[in-house]
Structure 1
Amino acid sequence: MSRQIAIIGSSGGNLFNLGGRDPRKLLDEILLQMESAGLSCAALQFIAAETSMDSAKPGTPAALYSWKMSQNEPVIIAQGTLEEVNKAALTLDQDIAEQIKLGEIDGIIVMSADPKGSNRQAFEAAALHKIPVTGTGGTSMAMIQSRGVHVISASGTTGTTNRTRAVAFVTSLCKHWRIPYRPVIGGSAAAAAQSGSQVSPWKRINLRGIMMASLPGFIGMALILAASKIPGLSSLSAVFDLMIKALPVILAVIAAKQVSELDEVSIVAGIVAGVLSVEGGIIGGMIGGIGAGILVHYIFRKCVEWRFPATTVNIIAGGVSGLIAGLFVYFLIAPVALAAGEGVRYLIETLVSWSPAIAGLIAGLLIWPAIIGGVYHAAILPIVLLEMERTGNSFLGAVDMVGLVMVSAGITLANMVAPRDKGEAAVAAPGFAINMGFGTFVEAAYPFMFSNKLVFGGAIASAGLGGLLIGLFGVRGTAYVPSFLGPISSNNATGFLFCMAASLLCSFLITFFVNKMSLGRRSKQHNLEA
């Protein structure tokens, strides 16, 4: 039989700014961790005010949450002023006290409770029956302890998050009862168990995912580079230089959060590690972030098992993890990581310098097979980001724009102008708009490419032409930006514009004539049947 838990508290003073303003999210995280440990909610009394309790008045709007057994979820049972809600809470307090006396509650989780007022009877019963209590809220927990309640762990709220508090609560109770428990990172406990989200943080390391999630930072840098070339905005070049230094920090934060998935704690660890990993470039930042994420996971769990206060747990897990990982990169990994990044860039530059046109042609011809085969995001995108780290644009990034984005735009445009049937025009229009307006969603061309081999071949040929021209003009650029910003963010605006136009026009004309031929054959067949 599972242990029955009562959740008692309020949105609090400091807690209000650390999750209390969103009661459902706060409660759902606790319930999620309880479910993972096999604990059940038997009672709930949570007073949620619309402002911090530090500044709340009797007339402040508030709501009272209780536990609905039939729905197995928190529900609002009273709303009104804080004074009215506090009065309604007294009935729940009496009910919870009665459940404790009847032995229906095995443990209590507390957050910013009121042991002198709306929670008095529950804590008197808890003290009498020696119910284990764990919670946060410095003042309230001190008052609860002074009343003889069996507090197994207590902490202030500062520095905690919904997740870290919930994990600390459930870990304390499970350790008290010697129940096995592994924190759930996301989703339901059942789904987490099936999907493996409770697995080792080592198995959550995904280099491709880290790179993809960090892409907006690189694009922001490219946009600053483009803006710095506008007359009167040359001072933005200093901002561009600053953003290049910030890229390792971005990757470190993303890596730390993905690996540990402990929200703000892992973000802080990632920032600390990233700042110390700057000298190692984006590879160093990624290594520092991964290390910080792994350390956060283990240090956090160990500190909770040792019953450190929740605030201290967060400080140690976030600060110390980031420092250890960051210093490791700073003193040992940074030179190697920087050399690795330079080596990749040097290899690309060397290959291109041998024959820019042939290099561009090969890259263009292979880029569609690469993205269709899943190689693009695993291999090409990381190289693009490594190139962009130094100059804000990239050889392969320029091939991406002309070989994928512009070719997709040309195919979709042709199906808008001369569709094989009316339905295709409606499908093509959004894809064309996104390609031109945002520099992404090249998959919009897939339906037309996969349904006709000539269109597919035309896409590859057009991409090859675009890549060839990129090599001839010595263009460096990027995709994932609006088409009109592509040339501005490149090292050769006129050349890049010409390459983009050529790829778009080539794919448009091939698709246009293929569609016309298809319509002609269809019309001829119809006449023969008639």
Structure 2
Amino acid sequence: MKRIAILGSSGGNLYNLGGKEPLKLLGEIETQASSAGIKIAAIQFIGAKASMDNANESTLSRLYTWNSSEENIVFSEEKALKEVNGEAKKVDSIIAKMIEDGKVQGLVLMSSDPEGVNNLSIKAAAKKDIPIVGTGGTSMATIQSMGGKVIATSGTTGTTNRTRAVAAIQSLSRHWGLKYKPVISSSGKSSQNLDENIFQRISFRGIMMAAIPGFIAMSIVLALSKIPGLAKLNDAFDLLIKGLPVVVAAIAANQVSGLDEVGIVAGVVAGMLSIDGGLIGGLIGGILAGILAFYLIQLALRWNFPGTTANIVAGGLSGLISGLIVFFLISPIALSLGNGIRYIIELALNYNSIVAGAIAGLLIWPAIIGGVYHAAILPIVLLEMEKTGASFLGAIDMTGLVMVSAGITLANIIYPKQKSESAIAVPGFLINIAFGTFVEASYPFMFSDRLIFIGAILSAALSGVFVGIFNVKGTAYVPSVTAPALSNNALGFTISMIIALVSSFLITLFANKISRNKRNKEA
């Protein structure tokens, strides 16, 4: 098994590109090394509180090292940089001895100091002719002049902790003939192989859930634009609508690629070119960008591109290619699909909004319990909001789920079956009212009592009837007291919400009373 030492510092330019978070930077290298079957033998890394371009002897810093017995990263207390450098030189001599003894077979350098605190280690590495990889143009050039066997070097511009780690370990693995596949890290440990799981990471639910804040922001701007004197916000609303595909594309590319900022850049580029395709166009563009970004960075590194160039290829070229595919080929189809879904909903509402509301309310609880809500209904809610800032199904969500859950939990606060249930119900009620989410808080009560379960479905259907009567369009995921203001009919939405809460509250009270009476008789 090959063993490496990681040397360097938080750097100058590196400081602003991940170097100021040494644990993440070092943890990412550890993760990628583990995927290749490479062990960490030693670490000597100086993490300063400022860029080394501006640091001085008194700048607070820490020395990060490797605990070989526990196999984890440890760090010192914060001290002046001058003092930390003194400690680092001691570690440097230890690592140099390890290299001389054959206990270290490779070096990974990040903004190292070959003429200072890393001098002995690098001289030993040059003498033993072991492979060296790393970033820091000036320092790596100095190492080559010292006779170091530099097999891969790169600047830091445009790179991230993950892509630097992937580039370093891929170069070492290729040099040693080791099998290596990049992985996603979790708390410094490998969690999943990136390319083996890349298509499994395409999660419409995850992408849409992450995009919700953008849609809520749009709704807030729309509501504010209705206030006298703030009509100019209509222009901001129109701009936000155009930007939504970019938001979705960036999230999709980041999640699918697993490359952090590189994936985000790819998604933004693809999203800007996918605007004409609407939300679906942005979604497709982002997913394509994420897939391309991952495979392009692997290809670029395999061809020995510097890390900076590999990042530019992955982030820029993948976004451009996928965006142009959507722009020229997919946008018209995606736009038609989105418009078609909205048209079907509008058709149902125009035919009989009351029946449509009742059916939607009746099915909303089975949908969320069965896992259909986040996979199918939520994307439709966001598709509706994409054009108007509010949604028919979004209103059903708030009335049929959030307010019904609030009614159930409120009843269990005031008149629970057992006193202990009141404490369970309080957080659920407060979160539903304050944040417009966490409908799962009512599950314990619904699943333990068939009458409460039926009451929840009937209350949701009843509130849906009133949503249909008032032709309400709104959203959940906002405080319940503000939800009516973000709808197209504040009074109608308020009435529908109150009906949902009161209905579920009364049915739950009735169910709890029956349960209490039954228990008292048995006692």
Alignment TM class, shorter chain as reference = over 0.9
Q: Any idea what SS the aligned residue of 2:6 has?
A: strand
Query: 2:179 matched to which residue of 1?
Result: 180
Query: 2:130 matched to which residue of 1?
Result: 131
Q: Deviations over 1:371-426 (max 9, x none)?
A: 11111111111111111111011111111111111111111111222222211222
In the superposition, relative to structure 1, how do residues 60 and 421 fare at CA in structure 2: closer, same or farther (>3 Å)? Answer: same
Deviation at 1:239, TM superposition (A): 1.5
Return the letter of the residue paired with 2:415: A
Identity %: 59
Return the letter of the residue paired with 2:256: V
Query: 1:120 matched to which residue of 2?
Result: 119
Structure 2, gaps ≥5 residues long: none
Query: 1:51 matched to which residue of 2?
Result: 50
Looking at structure 2, the residues matched to 508 and 83 of structure 1 have their Cα atoms a distance apart, in angstroms, of 67
Looking at structure 2, the residues matched to 140 and 129 of structure 1 have their Cα atoms a distance apart, in angstroms, of 19
Contact 1:63 1:79 in 2 (8 A): yes
Q: Any idea what SS the aligned residue of 1:487 has?
A: helix
Looking at structure 1, the residues matched to 454 and 75 of structure 2 have their Cα atoms a distance apart, in angstroms, of 61
Deviation at 1:133, TM superposition (A): 0.5
Looking at structure 2, the residues matched to 444 and 76 of structure 1 have their Cα atoms a distance apart, in angstroms, of 42
Return the letter of the residue paired with 2:438: F
Query: 2:19 matched to which residue of 1?
Result: 20
Identify the match of residue 442 of structure 2 among 436, 442, 445.
445
Q: Answer yes or no: is 1:210 the counterpart of 2:193.
A: no
Return the letter of the residue paired with 2:265: V
Deviation at 1:63, TM superposition (A): 2.1
Identify the match of residue 384 of structure 1 among 381, 385, 400.
381
Identify the match of residue 430 of structure 2 among 421, 428, 433.
433
The within-5 A match list for 1:190-209 is 192=191, 197-209=194-206
Q: Deviations over 1:480-512 (max 9, x none)?
A: 111111111111111111111111111111112
Query: 1:6 matched to which residue of 2?
Result: 5
Q: Any idea what SS the aligned residue of 2:184 has?
A: coil
Query: 1:168 matched to which residue of 2?
Result: 167
Deviation at 1:98, TM superposition (A): 1.9
Deviation at 1:523, TM superposition (A): 3.1
Q: Any idea what SS the aligned residue of 1:212 has?
A: helix
Contact 2:35 2:190 in 1 (8 A): no
Q: Which stretch of the first structure deviates more once superposed, 86-95 or 284-293?
A: 86-95
The within-5 A match list for 1:430-509 is 430-509=427-506
Deviation at 1:316, TM superposition (A): 1.1
CA RMSD of aligned residues (A): 1.6
Q: Any idea what SS the aligned residue of 2:208 has?
A: helix
Q: Deviations over 1:141-163 (max 9, x none)?
A: 11111112111011111111110
Q: Deviations over 1:33-61 (max 9, x none)?
A: 11110111122211222111101111222
Looking at structure 1, the residues matched to 189 and 109 of structure 2 have their Cα atoms a distance apart, in angstroms, of 25
Deviation at 1:189, TM superposition (A): 8.8
Looking at structure 1, the residues matched to 417 and 41 of structure 2 have their Cα atoms a distance apart, in angstroms, of 63
Looking at structure 1, the residues matched to 397 and 48 of structure 2 have their Cα atoms a distance apart, in angstroms, of 52
Q: Answer yes or no: is 1:291 the counterpart of 2:288.
A: yes
In the superposition, relative to structure 1, how do residues 467 and 79 fare at CA in structure 2: closer, same or farther (>3 Å)? Answer: closer
The within-5 A match list for 1:84-123 is 84-123=83-122
Query: 1:271 matched to which residue of 2?
Result: 268
Contact 2:184 2:193 in 1 (8 A): no
Looking at structure 1, the residues matched to 86 and 202 of structure 2 have their Cα atoms a distance apart, in angstroms, of 50
Looking at structure 2, the residues matched to 223 and 384 of structure 1 have their Cα atoms a distance apart, in angstroms, of 16
Query: 1:70 matched to which residue of 2?
Result: 69
Deviation at 1:203, TM superposition (A): 2.6
Scaled by the length of structure 2, the TM-score of the pair is: 0.97
Identify the match of residue 316 of structure 1 among 313, 327, 333.
313
Q: Deviations over 1:94-136 (max 9, x none)?
A: 2222222222221111111111111222222222221110000
Deviation at 1:200, TM superposition (A): 4.4
Scaled by the length of structure 1, the TM-score of the pair is: 0.96
Deviation at 1:514, TM superposition (A): 2.3
Q: Which stretch of the first structure deviates more once superposed, 202-211 or 517-526?
A: 517-526
- Total equivalences in the alignment: 523
Contact 1:36 1:189 in 2 (8 A): no
Return the letter of the residue paired with 2:339: E
